Chain A
Amino acid sequence: MSAPGHFIALFHSSQMPGEIFNPNPVVFSTSKSAARQSDLLAHSLWVTDSSQSEDEADDVEPIDQDEIYDLIRSIYDPEHPNTLEELRVVSAPQVTVGPNSVKVEFTPTVPHCGMSTLIGLCIRVRLLRSLPERFKVDIFVKPGSHQSENAVNKQLNDKERVAAALENPVLLDTVEQCLSNVGARGIV
């Protein structure tokens, strides 16, 4: 068993100035959620100002794939001023939601990406802060997309290591930087 320190060490090695794992990944244009066509006129002849009608209905809206994807899509990549969505590191279909569990798979831009652990950590922190405690969150790199797949997965899903990592102020600061714009989400 490697100590929690190993996580930090791995992170630190990826922090060496000038060392960049994927210097030039492709940026994809993101889908602005398609402007919902007003279907008001189909039900009624009249245009109205607001559509606050069904809000008070009793139906429960369970937490779903899109909602979780929306929480993590605007996390910044630690190496580039782009979001995980723009770099296609995460996507909605890579999120699976069960009654009390969430699985998030992400795709590093290159197989030797030393930032993978950090990216996973950012996703974990964001979900830790945004999801109810009853959810068990598992975070994995996409199978076959990373050289040290097992090591990365192990670190990301080990409670103690994650907790230890977050006690490191430098590391926490970097995570906060990556999370600085998460409020933007996709649907504005």
Chain B
Amino acid sequence: MLGVELLSLVVSLTPAEKLNRQIVRVLTSFFCGKLDDMATIKPALNGLATLTLLQSFSPVEAVVTIEAIFRHIKMKSIVQDQRFKVFSIIDSVMAFHRDVLKNMGKQFLDGYINLAEGEKDPRNLIVAFAIARVILIEFDISGHVESMFNILFCYFPITFRPPPNDRYGISTDDLRMALRNCLNATPAFGPLAIPVFLEKVSAGSRVTKKDTLQTMAVCLPVYGSALARVSARKLWNALKLEIFQPVDPETEQEALKTTQILVKTIYMDEEEALEHDEDIQGLARDACEECVHILKEPEKTQAKPAIKILCTFMTTTPSVARYTISQAVPHLVRLFLTPDEASTREPTLLLLSDLIAAARDSTKKSSLEDADPPLLPYKDEVLGVFIVGLKLITTRNAALSGLKVMATTKRLLSDEELGFIVHNVNEIIQADGEELYESIEAILEVLTIISDIAPRHVVEQTLPLLSSSLPDTAPARDDATGREKCWQTLTTLSKLCIQTELFEQLVIRLTTKLDLLCFPSSEQMLSVSADPEPTAAYAHMILKALAQALSTKVKGKHPDIAKYLDRLVPIIFNVFVSSAFLSEEQMIVAKEPRLVQVAAEIINFVVQSVPSEKQRFYSVELSKAIIDGNVSTIAEGFQKAAKSERFSIFDASTTSAKRNILALLSAAVISLHKEARLSLRDVSGFLEMLLRWVLDIADNDIQKLAALHIVSSILNRQVEDLSVFLNTKLDVYWNTEIVNDASPLPRRRWAIKTWIWITKALLVRKHPLAMKLTEQLYDAFDDEAIGWDAAKAIGQIPSPDTVLTKANHAEVKLIPLLLRGLDLPDAEIRSNIIDTFLAAAEGETPEKSLVAEHGVTLVNAMLKNCVSNDVSSTQVRISALRYLAVLPSIVRYDILHPHKATVLRELAKVLDDPKRAVRKQAVDARTNWFKYKG
């Protein structure tokens, strides 16, 4: 026995080229001779396994080996790893000498079936299934269909579950797929397989149902249309049950998919033969009738699965789709026009809308994409029904969703018909009233879709309608309704005018209105001067609407935003710069800081969307404005004042209104690319000047923050040129402005804010100094006057902001610092810090989580923060609960598992929080922890 083992080992270690034919032949017959002895069977199999892989292993040896295996091996009396060798040997022979096995014919098939029967080990089965697939596809199995069927279908459905600490790396799915590849390897299995499938699908567990449905989906096309046709009734009855009474949504989906494949399998063959308008017979017809019958009660639950089936039919074959639509659409149209009860109209329209959406999607990504849409023959009736539905409040939203589908179906509606829809939608807008706002989102969606295809209708019909309802002068102070209406109209406009041409119109109309409001004619001047606030508030709304539309466009990365650097930004500058000048001599509307802030937002949106090439030209002009006070080129517009005069923002003698303009300039500066930075002779000097200006001259928060934003963004982009500033000037600043208790308190507070913005700039770049500057703040904690502000600063440094956007994960380095901050008594700081954690959680997964190592600390800190007490606030509790709710999705279960019970227990207390919003978050967080499992 030792000899055989030694020999087998030697063979496995000998280089392949040393083992010639002669040697292989001798060795093969030697090892085969040892297969009949239980004591030597293991090394003999090992030896043979090595030999079968060799090139010098010839067909003669292949036959000898296989015959010896069939003769001597009793699978039931050997252990798993030996059986694995047997399968491996057969697998190798199958790979290199397949014809030899084919020539063995019945002898091989009988032998193999006998051998493979009853195998249970998943590792062996993976090999056995691979061998079986080759046999089924390539061998003549006509005499062995039933026995092959028996040794394969006995495993279906796979119920194997890998043990915990699975060492073999074979999953349930691996086995399922391998088996499935056998079950669908030959049409011969069809008649035997169908009854098995039917039984498993109806009696099985959820998992079995799903597996069976998926297996049917891959088998039915192989088994062929003839079998599908004769089994259609039985199959449909089983599938139907899974759709009308689904155990879960996933199974329902699988059943629908299998139904689709069944119908395709039945009708694909005859598709060619069918005439265009010929009726279809068989399953599709019967099932269609059944579903249409159910749709007679559109308000009942069963109507939904029925329409899902009809929708599925749309993606089978063209003739079935044609037939389905010809049955279902006229039926639903009739039902809408002559309902038993008015209340069934809404569900009818929703069903119709689902069906035509499926019709629309059925031709996507297929050769039919350029063909006429399937709905075309019924277009007029369907459009008519939706237009009627639009007029009634109860069916309006359903009608709008149908119209949306029609408008998005290619080549369905003519330009004229799209105009007709716009016209009818406009009538609702015009009628106004309370109920308009129930449908406004859906209305906007339809108009937006149409404005993408045919903007003319919306530009010519809807825009004038909406903008004409905006008054030229502001609603009076006591006219709250008028103000409300203005804002609603502006909101509608800002949502509607996103498409290129519409936005262009919006900018023209709103900037004209803005100019009129900010520079009233002499007749109006008197009344506006008497009470300017309503006018300022109205101008503010207009700016807000522009900012909202731009924000949507920025999110959609619209390329047309850039051109508004020439069309919108100068006008905004013009209005505000002129106002700043004129404010010295007369009452002015646009000097109100709130207006300046929205104007800054607008400028920021546009400039950030301008490519750096174009920004470079702009930044030259911007530099002139900032350094020399020459605004003539960046502020071109209706008003002359901005062009002729010069102003020096940083001069101590300038007015506050003029200083406010820095907010607009800053909004442009912070969105410049690195290559398009300001042209400054002495960058460090400029920053020092700004820091002084913040503390000595600037007289309100807007100005100060504008300056700090400029400092921060310059530092962020040009840090390498500023080492002197960072290494020496900052130390001086710290000593003279922050820790110097002779300095007045407000001044020291602004010095800390400055510190925050400098540190932020470095942190985003992961500059090593960021940590040092943050740590330095801890030194100021003991200071009686500013300790509090220094503590707050810790929370603010890593929190997201709109200046240094593209927040990256730089914060992560700060985790230990932030965790310390969570113990601070101030609720606002804690809330800030938790929000920072929440922002960092986006994109985290249990597999790749940067907070995992602090998971336990975080759980405890959050639990402490979600309790209602004197040092807590609603906001901090909500934030802490939101973070607790997120943790299960970003930290592996094994890390937090020991704390699950504690979290659930502690959260149970929070369910009694005095605030509703907190309780809601607590319920959600607790639900997530209940679901948190390994």
User: Which A residues are within 8 Å of any B CB, using their own CB?
Assistant: 17-18, 20, 23-29, 34-35, 37-38, 41-42, 45-47, 52, 55-56, 60-61, 63, 67, 71, 79-82, 87, 129-134, 177, 182-183
- The minimal Cβ–Cβ distance linking B658 to chain A, given in whole angstroms, is 24
In the complex, what residues of A have CB within 8 A of residue B594's CB? 46
Task: Report yes or no: B245 in contact with A79, Cβ–Cβ below 8 A.
Answer: yes
A130 — which chain B residues lie within 8 A by C-beta? 911, 923, 926-927
Q: Give the distance in Å from the alpha carbon of A19 to the alpha carbon of B908 in the complex.
A: 38
B919 close to A (CB within 8 Å): yes
B540–A27 CB distance below 8 A: no
Cross-chain pairs A/B with CB under 8 angstroms, 15 sampled: A17-B203, A18-B241, A23-B302, A27-B300, A28-B299, A41-B480, A42-B484, A45-B533, A47-B537, A61-B916, A67-B919, A129-B926, A133-B908, A177-B248, A183-B927
Which residue from chain B places its CB closest to the CB of A181 in the assembled complex?
B249
Are B300 and A24 within 8 A (Cβ)? yes
Q: How far is the CB of A35 from chain B (nearest CB, A)?
A: 6
Known A-B contacts A45-B533, A183-B924; the reply to A132 vs B911 at CB < 8 A is yes
Q: In the assembled complex, how far is the CB of residue A69 from the closest CB belonging to chain B, in whole angstroms?
A: 13
Q: Which residues of chain A have C-beta atoms less than 8 A from B246's C-beta?
A: 81
Other-chain residue from A45, A82, A131 in contact with B477 (beta carbon distance below 8 A)? A45
How many A-B Cβ pairs are below 8 Å? Answer: 99
Docked CA distance A35–B435 (Å): 11
9 tightest Cβ-Cβ pairs between the two chains A and B: A132-B912, A45-B537, A60-B914, A24-B302, A42-B480, A130-B923, A24-B300, A61-B916, A41-B483
Instruction: Tell me, in angstroms, the Cα distance from A38 to B486 when the chains sit together.
Output: 13
> Which residues of B lie under 8 Å from residue A134 when comparing CB positions?
912
Question: Assuming A82-B301, A132-B911, is B926 touching A34 (CB within 8 A)?
Answer: no
Render B913-934 as a binary contact track against A, CB cut-off 8 A, 1 for contact.
0111101000110110010000
Closest-by-CB residue of A relative to B244 is A23
Contact A37 B912, CB 8 Å, known A129-B930, A130-B923? no
A27-B303, A45-B537, A82-B301 known; 5 new pairs, CB 8 Å cut-off, are A23-B245, A24-B301, A25-B300, A27-B301, A130-B911
Is B347 in the interface zone, CB < 8 Å from A?
A: yes
A29 to chain B, nearest CB (A): 6
Q: Does B875 contact A (CB under 8 A)?
A: yes
Instruction: For B299, give the chain A residue with the smallest CB separation.
Output: A26
Chain B residues closer than 8 Å to A79, beta-carbon distance: 245
How large, as a class, is the contact surface on chain B?
35 or more
Q: Given A18-B241, A34-B438, A41-B483, does the pair A81, B544 have CB atoms closer than 8 Å?
A: no
| B483, closest chain A residue (CB) | A41
Residue interface mask B202-239, A partner, CB < 8 A = 1: 11000000000000000000000000000000000000
User: Which residue of B has the minimal Cβ distance to A32?
Assistant: B438
Interface check B686, CB cutoff 8 A: no
Contact for B437 among A28, A29, A37, A182, CB less than 8 A: A37
Contact residues in A for B912 (Cβ distance below 8 Å): 132, 134
Q: Would B537 and A55 count as touching, CB distance under 8 A?
A: no
CB distance from B642 to the nearest CB of A (A): 26
B 413-443 binary contact with A (CB < 8 Å = 1; else 0): 0000000000000000000000001100000
Chain A residues with CB under 8 Å of B202's CB are: 17-18
Given contacts A24-B297, A56-B875, contact A132 B908 (CB under 8 A): yes
Distance of A132 Cα from B907 Cα, bound (Å): 9
Nearest Cβ distance between residue A98 and chain B, in whole angstroms? Answer: 15
- B residues near A26, Cβ cutoff 8 Å: 299-301
Inter-chain contacts of A177 with B (CB < 8 A):
248
**Chain B residues with CB under 8 A of A129:** 923, 926-927, 930
Name the residue on A nearest B541 (C-beta). A47
In the complex, A52 Cα to B917 Cα: how many Å? 12
**Closest CB-CB distance, A89 to chain B, in whole Å?**
12
Q: How far is the CA of A71 from the CA of B909 in the complex (A)?
A: 17
Kindly provide the distance from the CB of A16 to the nearest chain B CB, expressed in whole angstroms.
11
Instruction: Determine how close the nearest CB of chain A comes to the CB of B656; give it in whole angstroms.
Output: 21
CB neighbours (8 Å) of A34 from chain B are: 438
Complex contact B537–A46 (CB within 8 A): yes
Q: Say whether A29 contacts B484, CB under 8 Å.
A: no
Residues of B within 8 A of A35 (CB): 437-438
Known: A55-B875, A61-B914. A38 touches B302 (CB 8 A): no
Docked pose: A32 CA to B487 CA in angstroms: 23
Q: Give the interface centre of B301, B437, B594, B915 by most chain A CB atoms within 10 Å.
A: B301
Known: A41-B487, A45-B477, A55-B917. A27 touches B299 (CB 8 A): yes
Please give the distance in Å from B339's CB to the nearest CB on chain A. Answer: 14
Shortest C-beta distance, B919 to chain A (Å), equals 7
Residues of chain B within 8 A (CB-CB) of A17 are 202-203
Q: Is the CB of B537 within 8 A of A20?
A: no
Asked if B133 lies at the interface with its beta carbon under 8 angstroms from chain A, I say no
With a cutoff of 8 Å between Cβ atoms, the chain A residues found around residue B533 in the complex are 45
Contact B914 A27 (CB under 8 A): no
B347 adjacent to A67 (CB under 8 Å): no
> Cβ of B537 and Cβ of A80 under 8 Å apart?
no
Q: Is the CB of B249 within 8 A of A81?
A: yes
CB distance from B217 to the nearest CB of A (A): 21
Chain A residues contacting B914 (CB-CB under 8 Å) are 60-61
Contacts of A52 in B (CB 8 A): 875
- Say whether A81 contacts B487, CB under 8 Å: no
> Counting chain B CB atoms within 10 Å of each CB, which of A20, A27, A87 scores highest?
A27
Chain A residues whose C-beta falls within 8 Å of the C-beta of B874 in the assembled complex: 55-56
| Cβ contacts under 8 Å, A56 to chain B | 873-875
Write the chain A residue with the least CB distance to B878.
A55
Alpha-carbon distance A183/B921, docked complex (angstroms): 10
Partner of A27, one of B304, B480, B541, B911: B304
Q: How far does the Cβ of A55 sit from chain B's closest Cβ, in whole Å?
A: 5
Given the known interface contacts A45-B483, A61-B914, A81-B252, the answer about A29 and B927 at a Cβ–Cβ threshold of 8 Å is no
Query: In angstroms, how far is the closest chain A Cβ from the Cβ of B845?
Result: 20
Complex Cα distance A133/B912, Å? 9
Assembly CA distance A67 to B923 (angstroms): 11
B636 contacts A by Cβ under 8 Å: no
B346 within 8 A of A: yes
Closest to B302 in A: A24
| Residues of chain A contacted by B924 (CB below 8 angstroms) | 183
B534 at the interface (CB under 8 A from A): yes
Q: How distant is the Cα of A17 from the Cα of B209 in the complex, in angstroms?
A: 12
Closest residue to B537 on the A side, CB-wise? A45
Which B residues, 238 to 260, have Cβ-Cβ distances below 8 Å to chain A? 241, 244-246, 248-249, 252
Query: In the complex, which residue of chain B has the Cβ closest to the Cβ of A42?
Result: B480
- Name A46's closest neighbour in chain B (CB-CB): B537
Residues in A neighbouring B438, C-beta threshold 8 A: 34-35
Chain B residues contacting A45 (CB-CB under 8 Å) are 477, 483, 533-534, 537
Bound state CA distance, A25 and B301, in angstroms?
6
Q: CA separation between A130 and B925, bound complex, in Å?
A: 10
Bound-state CA distance A172–B294 (Å) is: 33
Q: Shortest Cβ distance from B335 into chain A, in angstroms?
A: 15
Given A34-B438, A41-B480, A42-B480: A20 and B927 interface contact (C-beta under 8 Å): no
Contact status B297-A29, CB under 8 Å: no
CA distance A98 to B535 in the complex (A): 50
Q: Are A47 and B487 in contact (CB under 8 A)?
A: yes
Residues of A near B908 (CB, < 8 A) are: 132-133
With both beta carbons as reference points, the residue of chain A lying nearest to B252 in the complex is identified as: A81
Chain B residues within an 8 Å CB radius of A42: 480, 484
Cβ–Cβ contact A20 & B245, under 8 A: yes
Distance in angstroms between the alpha carbons of A108 and B912 in the assembled complex: 30
Contact with A along B536-549 (1 / 0, CB 8 A): 01001100100000
**Closest CB-CB distance, A15 to chain B, in whole Å?**
10
Query: By CB atoms of chain A within 10 A, which of B202, B483, B926 has the most?
Result: B483
Assembly CA distance A18 to B136 (angstroms): 36
**Chain A CB within 10 Å — which of B246, B300, B346, B930 has the most?**
B300
Report the minimal beta-carbon distance from A141 to chain B, rounded to whole angstroms: 20
CA distance A37 to B245 in the complex (A): 41
CB-defined contacts of B297 to chain A, threshold 8 Å: 24
In the docked arrangement, what's the CA distance between A130 and B923, Å? 5
Residues on A with C-beta less than 8 A from B911 are: 130-132
